[in-house]
Structure 1
Amino acid sequence: MIEVFKTNVQEVEQSIMIVGKLLEHLPNSAINFDLDDCDKILRINAASIKNQKIIELLDSYGYHCEVLL
């Protein structure tokens, strides 16, 4: 399952920290950012993804995140 999110993450350092935190919750998944995209895309490829959990996790670190339709 692949899910794509729009975020307000701006810096590579921020994205590295967030990917690390997400991997703690979603081991064995592929997670990456496309910060060159205007929507600062977060892509998660995992067996099971709970969108609300991802949104809440980023929110807890002060970042906006929403499912990109």
Structure 2
Amino acid sequence: MIWVFKTSVQSQKEVKNLTAFLDSMIGKGNWNFDLEDCDKILRLVSSNRETINSIIEHFNANNIEIIELE
């Protein structure tokens, strides 16, 4: 399943800071940011809702906006 989120991530530096965390949570190649999009889209590929919830919690704990899109 592909999960799509609007985020407040603005730069490649912020993406780089999240890379190790996202790779460990969901696996390299199973996530990507589209910083060109006005909503700074994050796409995650996972069938595990608990993992997605953990990622959302991590973003929130680090004051990074993350809102699931339909």
TM-score, with structure 1 as normaliser: 0.82
Structure 2 residues without counterparts, runs of 5 or longer: none
Contact 2:2 2:45 (8 Å CA) reproduced: yes
What corresponds to 2:43 in structure 1?
Answer: 43
Aligned equivalents of 1:12, 1:32: Cα separation in 2:
11
Counterpart of 1:13 in structure 2 is 13
AA matched with 2:56: I
Which secondary structure does the structure 1 equivalent of 2:39 belong to? coil
Change (3 A) 1:55 1:21: same
Which runs of 5 or more structure 1 residues have no equivalent in the other structure? none
Question: Which stretch of the first structure deviates more once superposed, 24-33 or 37-46?
Answer: 24-33
Alignment of 1:50-65 (within 5 A): 50=50, 51-65=52-66
- When the two structures are superposed, what TM-score results if normalisation uses the length of structure 2? 0.81
Amino-acid identity (%): 35
Deviation at 1:46, TM superposition (A): 2.2
CA RMSD of aligned residues (A): 1.7
Q: Secondary structure in 2 aligned to 1:43?
A: strand
Corresponding pairs, count: 69
* Higher relative helix content: 2
